[in-house]
Amino acid sequence: MSNTTLAAVATRLSETSVQAALDAEPLAWPDALPDDAWCMSPELVSLYGTPRWDALDEAGRRRLAFFECVNFFTLNIHGERALMEGITRRLYARDLADHTHYLHHFLAEENQHMTWFGGFCRRYAGKIYPDRKLVLPREHAPGEEDVLFFARVLVFELLVDTFNRRMAKDARLHPLVREINRRHHEDESRHLAFGRLLVEDLWRRHAPNWSEATRAAVPGYMAAYLTATWREYYNPDVYKDAGFAEPIRVAREVFASEAATARRAEIESRCVRVLRELGLWPTPAAGDSLEAAS
């Protein structure tokens, strides 16, 4: 894949973004959501398939699904805020200068998404959940920070997009929830197409200039990042709001449960496949460690 190909894709995606913005209708926001509305597909709720889920009555499941939806939208807000900060810092950077026109669209769309997610959380939950992530500064090889940044973005968006695609099609969900998921998926499919090509381009250009140790650490780091991202889907604040005692214990137990582990493996399979194709996923033969590299 050449830099010229990436530039051509960025130009095409820019044109699609312009048209999508022209076609977009404002979202219809009801004053309140009905008590019996499903806001998250039951099969995507973190507790689904565990004894704790089985013990809930229908109203309890819908209530938990509502707070899981608020958490999902919250994760999108925090993720997109970090993404926007990172992209803004890189606008017109030499390495990305040819794609700046698309990065402007990318930023505009991410900002729009945050208004949807934030609008939902503030209107119907009166809050978003706090962000427990903290980025600690460290030294990087030339280009390494960009590779890791855009690879993290790719992982985050691939996971989110799987949820979006499934919930956009789920007729049990409230129409507003379906529509937010549908619109987000539509925009993210462009971001994913660009992001994958960009990561591939940056990795191929920069990684050969790094030390063997720096290069070898990347797949392990990406695996650790994926696990860390998943942990945020098991938010004790959600379990507390849904009425569970000992919410941190619930989070830990559910994350380790067989049902949740199997569901994560199924949902992340697309993400793992993409990372493997890019050479950014640990291979046992290479002796990569799944320990965090950063």
Partner 1 sequence: MNATTKTRLRAWILEHGRRIDAAELTDDTPLLEKRILSSLQIADLLLFLEELRGTPVELEGLTGASFRDLGSMARAFLPADSVPASEAA
Q: Would you tell me which residues interact with partner 1 (CB under 8 A)?
A: 130-138, 221, 224-225, 227-228, 231-232, 236, 248-249, 251, 291-294
The residue (of 153 and 293) whose beta carbon lies closer to partner 1 is 293
Contact 164, 184 (CB under 8 A): yes
Candidates 234, 197, 196, 218; CA nearest to 52 is 234
Least distance from C-beta 178 to partner 1, angstroms? 29
The residue (of 131 and 170) whose beta carbon lies closer to partner 1 is 131
Least distance from C-beta 84 to partner 1, angstroms? 19
Contact 236, 254 (CB under 8 A): no
Distance CA 206, CA 189 (A): 26
The residue (of 107 and 216) whose beta carbon lies closer to partner 1 is 216
Distance CA 128, CA 112 (A): 17
Q: Which two tokens stand for residue 208?
A: 């050969």
Q: Which two tokens stand for residue 49?
A: 């398939």
Least distance from C-beta 137 to partner 1, angstroms? 7
The residue (of 166 and 255) whose beta carbon lies closer to partner 1 is 255
Least distance from C-beta 145 to partner 1, angstroms? 12
The residue (of 33 and 147) whose beta carbon lies closer to partner 1 is 147
Contact 193, 14 (CB under 8 A): no
DSSP secondary structure letter of residue 263 = H
Least distance from C-beta 229 to partner 1, angstroms? 9
